[in-house]
A and B are shown apart, each in its own frame.
Chain A
Amino acid sequence: MKRETHQFAKGMAFLAPWLIGFLIFTVAPIALSFYYSLCRFSLLQPPRFIGVRNYADLMHDGVFWQATGNTFYYTLMALPAALLVSLGLAMLLTVEVPGRAVWRTMIFMPSLAPIVASAMLWMWLFNARLGLINVLLGKIGIEGPPWLTNVHWALPALALMSLWGVGNAVVIYLAGLQDVPRELYEAAELDGAGIAGRVWHVTLPMLSPVIFFNLIMAIIGALQVFDVPYIMTNGGPAHATYFLSMYLYDNAFVYLQMGYASAMAWIMLLIVLALTGLAFLSSGRWVHYQGK
């Protein structure tokens, strides 16, 4: 027993630097943010406890609901698109074609580009008068919209741009695809399955844990989107691309309403938890693990 205690102490001693950091820089701020969400707090003055007033005010805050709606709408557009495109690209990249390594590199490279540089590039691409997208659309007789200045097109434009960063997910899918046993494809082929059948009955079930992982990461990423709209549209036009994370940031650091922003952060956390929980609950039906 004494020996075990000694071992435990040693383990804790080695763990201590991380553990102390985790407690000070993660657990304490999370706990404090919950307390602040129940206060009026401007950072420069001591927090004043006001109960659930911030949460009640949020329920009547039109901008909060608009930002929440925008966040969900964006998630609904960007999430399936990112999953489908990244999975499709990964499958295409498994095909034996000349220069396959080059194609893989090209698809992964955009995700390495700094976000500000990517955003500036896409602002040019979306430029209604001079942008490449509208110029190409014009070549086929389609008059492109003013992507970033039209209330109806700005959000879809951002969702479209989010596909630029699917390289990471593609790499993960590629790794997953390497793990699909060849014999399963051979068996399916012997059973008369065509390409679509092999994808549907072999690839997707075998890849489902990877899809599930990417889904969770994409849900969290989409709900926290901030930098791209902050740079490209600053929330406009008329709040059409104003996301929850941007409203939270403005409240915290521009309006100095740290308590209100903390309440918003907790609601955002609950939304992420709820959606992730739903994904986990549903995973029993469609996620298949090898050997189970």
Chain B
Amino acid sequence: MKHLLWRISLSLILASVLAFLALGPRPTSSAGKGRVRIEYWEKWTGLEGQQMQQIVDAFNDTVGKEKGIWVDLVSMSQIDRKTLISTAAGVPPDVAGLWDTQVLQFGSMDALEPLESYAKQYGLTPDRYKPVFYDGCKYHGRLCALPSTAWCVALLWNKEIFQQKAQKLREAGLDPDRPPRTIAELDKYAAAIDTWETGGGGGRHLSLTGFIPLEPGSFTNEYVYWFGGRVVDPTGTRLLFTTAPFFATYNWIRGYSHRLGKDSLAEFRSGFSSGATGLFDTPQNPFLVGWNAMEQQGPWIAAFIEHLKPSMNRWHVPPDQLRREQDFQQVRIGMTYAQVQALLGPGDPLAGSSGQSLHWPAGIKDVYVTFVDGRVSSKEARLIPARQRQQYCQWGAAPFPTAVPGLSNVTYAGMDVWVIPRTSRHKREAFEFIAFASRQAQIEKLSSLHCNLSPLAEESEQYLRNHPNPYVDVYEALAASPNALPLPPLSNWPQISDELGQVAERSYLLQGTTAQILANAQERAQRELNKALNVPENTNLDARAANAQ
């Protein structure tokens, strides 16, 4: 009896397993059948992921169809860690969309496929790209990646606050109609704008700041660039934390805590989303709320402004056009001309449309309606050219001020990249996709959709005109500047960067002197760098650097 039960149990389990294998779930999509399937992992999720999917779809429908390649896009968070683990396990994706930091990290471990020969074959030569981005894709002279979208940082300034504080700014000898151009000027502007209020308990609290070096805090570790410094020497072996530009940078950060009080700053910053967590893409962003008049940001901020505080893009739009933009949303397919006219007013005929299409100015957009048989058949709102949009903005973007006379257009530039892991199974096909996505039309489309910059040396007129960031010209010029600087060429940059982050926090919290903080950080970070470079202990780095030069 027991034997029987035992056999029945085992048979049932076995039957269940076989039934599951035979009848269980199967991939439902037959798309791309018969083609070489490329697995493409990308960090962009949500809307950004969908936008990348448009490029993937375009590839699958054209080049992919012609050459028998099908790309499967897999959007994911923490792509750096997942790519790392899958690469270590020998089952990486064929293409991965990483950050520039990983080019150095993965490149130093020889985990990325060199792309020079592929790139040359497809005409993706260095002159096609802005130098800062192409160079940032190399590790020790070897091309390990190609840029997808790019960015750099600029100074954002709130024109309305500058106007509200015009008198104080003028009293300080400053022009309220332009942003600061030097660090000394930036400090003066900030001091003139800083505003205090008295709380319920009688204590003084900051209610508005001109500028806070640690806000939003994303690029604090590269501030030294604007002070004429570099993080590491040209040999890439010795950190320069104890050089004059570093002292100047972190003394400057301390200066704000001295002037405003570290506790007052901590209290004020704790009201921001970025204060504790570094998040800037929220309605608690102090620049968007109007609590901070200037901050350093990348081009993507325009998308967040439009999403979180669209009024900042429509500050000087005439009221009738502002109303028209809102009323345009009420225009429905099938409405009569009279109904549309009642909403939007008399429109202007579109050239060449034989009176069937009309358009109206609506502030930062032009709105278009097409009629068939006297009724609305389609409608569309298009952004006016970026430069024209600037006149309506409550905010402006300009090169971040520098501390060194004669040094201008300094920026920190970063990018997203495509890489092919060394153990990828379909390298040639993977590069076919990268080459397609690197075409000017595709790269500009993606950059615009993501509100980032094009890494290419030349931008099309259409891209500059239609980009969602009204100040795209400012950002593109900065990225093309010879003073655009990439990440320091360090394979363990995440670790060094965290060290520098602590230096900034300790400086702002006035924990020790700048000299002490920098000396401690230099010692720790240099030790880590030596480890990463396999430099034996007690190596004379001065002699090594001299020899290298």
Contact = CB atoms under 8 A, between A and B. Distances in A.
B345 interface: no
Interface stretch (A75-83, A171-179, A252-260): A252-260
Interface stretch (A92-100, A139-147, A219-227): A139-147
Contact of B267 (A128, A154, A237): A128
A138 B270 contact: no
B6 A256 contact: no
Contacts of A145: 267
B498 interface: yes
Contact of B511 (A43, A45, A127, A238): A238
B524 interface: yes
A44 B511 contact: no
Contact of B505 (A43, A127, A146, A237): A237
How extensive is the interface on chain A, given as a class? Answer: 35 or more
A143 B201 contact: yes
Nearest to A124: B284
B271 interface: yes
Contact of B506 (A126, A143, A232, A238): A238
Interface stretch (B103-111, B251-259, B437-445): B103-111
Contact of A44 (B111, B201, B509): B111
Nearest to A236: B505
A127 B273 CA distance: 9
B509 A255 contact: no
Nearest to A138: B200
Interface string A224-236: 0000000111101
**Chain B interface, DSSP helix/strand/loop, else mixed:** helix
Given A44-B106, A238-B502, A149 B201 contact: no
B4 interface: no
Contacts of B277: 123, 231-234
B84 A256 contact: yes
Interface in B14-62: none
A189 interface: no
Interface string B261-275: 001001111110001
A154 B344 CA distance: 54
Interface string B79-108: 001001101100000000000000001100
* SS class, residues of chain A in contact with chain B: loop
Contacts of B81: 253
B203 interface: yes
Nearest to A256: B105
A38 to B, nearest CB: 16
B85 A128 contact: no
B27 to A, nearest CB: 26
B355 interface: no
A149 B266 CA distance: 6
A243 to B, nearest CB: 15
B267 A238 contact: no
B509 A127 contact: no
Interface string A115-143: 00000000100111110000000100101
Nearest to B102: A256
B492 interface: yes
Contacts of A62: 520, 524
Interface string B480-511: 00000000000010110010001001100101
Contacts of B543: none
A42 interface: yes
B283 to A, nearest CB: 12
A111 to B, nearest CB: 23
Contacts of B506: 238
Contacts of A256: 84, 105, 109
B199 A44 contact: no
Interface centre among B105, B275, B506 (most CB of A within 10 A): B275
B276 interface: yes
B278 interface: yes
Given A148-B276, A231-B277, A143 B502 contact: no
When A and B form their complex, which 4 residue pairs have the shortest distance between CB atoms, in order from nearest? Answer: A129-B271, A146-B270, A128-B270, A148-B276
Interface of A: 10, 42-45, 62-63, 123, 126-130, 138, 141, 143, 145-151, 154, 231-234, 236-239, 250, 253-256
Given A43-B88, A149-B266, A233-B277, 9 more contacts: A43-B85, A128-B271, A129-B271, A130-B271, A149-B270, A234-B277, A237-B505, A254-B494, A255-B495
20 contacts: A10-B6, A43-B87, A44-B106, A45-B110, A62-B520, A62-B524, A63-B524, A123-B277, A126-B270, A127-B270, A127-B271, A128-B270, A143-B199, A149-B276, A234-B278, A237-B276, A237-B509, A253-B84, A256-B84, A256-B105
